[in-house]
């Protein structure tokens, strides 16, 4: 009987040790994995030939999404707050590779009203979604955020960017 208890104790300790090892391995792989590098940085010019002249002449916040992206869906309440902010000075423009109607339906389903939706764009450097770009007139990138915003500080930075005085009056 005593020998059986020792074998049970050894088996239990072995399982605990194996679980701890697997947890540590998973953590160290995740912790050491580099974060994705945003495909654009401040100062870059968004080189999209199919954008209209009025868009190129105004400041905007581009929200690049995919309708199948869970992080885009989780970000919708924040996008809704941005869109409804009366102090907003930038146009909110949704862009994506999917058809315009599909993108519009995605935002409508989440009750987020944006100024413009541009779909079918495929010539963008992109590693994932969502991606936020603050554009100055001339499509010059002022700020970027890549992935789902992680905290109130990130959201406050985006909020500040969309409410700062615009160099060109907002046309809605």
124 found inside a domain: yes
pTM, whole model, 2 decimals? 0.70
User: Is residue 111 very low, low, confident or very high in pLDDT (cuts 50, 70, 90)?
Assistant: very high
Give burial (CB, 10 Å; 0-12/13-18/19+) of 5: exposed
* 110 and 154 co-located in one domain: yes
CATH code assigned at 143? 3.40.30.10
103 found inside a domain: yes
43 found inside a domain: no
* 25 and 60 co-located in one domain: no
Strands (E) across 78-129 are located at 91-95, 116-118
47 found inside a domain: no
Residue 18 domain boundaries: 1-33
- For the record, the structure tokens of 24 come out as 């540590």
88 found inside a domain: yes
* 26 and 68 co-located in one domain: no
44 found inside a domain: no
Span 48-105, pLDDT tens digits: 655 656 566 778 888 999 999 999 999 999 999 999 998 888 889 999 989 999 999 9
Is the pLDDT at 159 greater than 80? The verdict is yes
Helix (H, G, I), strand (E, B) or coil at 142: strand
* 58 and 23 co-located in one domain: no
Integer angstrom CA distances of residue 135 from 21, 168, 172: 47, 12, 16
* 17 and 63 co-located in one domain: no
Higher pLDDT, 123 or 137: 137
82 found inside a domain: yes
* 57 and 22 co-located in one domain: no
Domain count of the chain?
Answer: 2
45 found inside a domain: no
């Amino acid at each position: 009987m005593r020998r059986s208890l020792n074998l049970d104790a050894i088996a239990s300790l072995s399982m605990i040790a194996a679980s701890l090892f697997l947890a540590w391995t998973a953590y160290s792989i995740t912790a050491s994995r580099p974060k994705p590098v945003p495909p654009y940085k401040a100062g870059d010019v968004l080189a999209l030939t199919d954008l209209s002249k009025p868009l190129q002449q105004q400041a905007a916040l581009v929200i690049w999404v995919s309708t199948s992206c869970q992080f885009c869906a989780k970000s919708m309440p924040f996008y809704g707050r941005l869109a409804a902010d009366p102090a907003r000075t930038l146009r909110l423009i949704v862009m994506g590779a999917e058809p315009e109607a599909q993108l519009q339906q995605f935002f409508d389903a989440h009750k987020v009203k944006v100024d413009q939706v541009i779909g079918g764009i495929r010539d963008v450097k992109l590693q994932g979604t969502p991606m936020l770009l603050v554009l100055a007139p001339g499509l010059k990138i002022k700020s970027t955020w890549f992935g789902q915003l992680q905290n109130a500080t990130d959201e406050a930075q985006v909020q500040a960017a969309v409410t700062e005085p615009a160099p060109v009056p907002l046309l809605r």
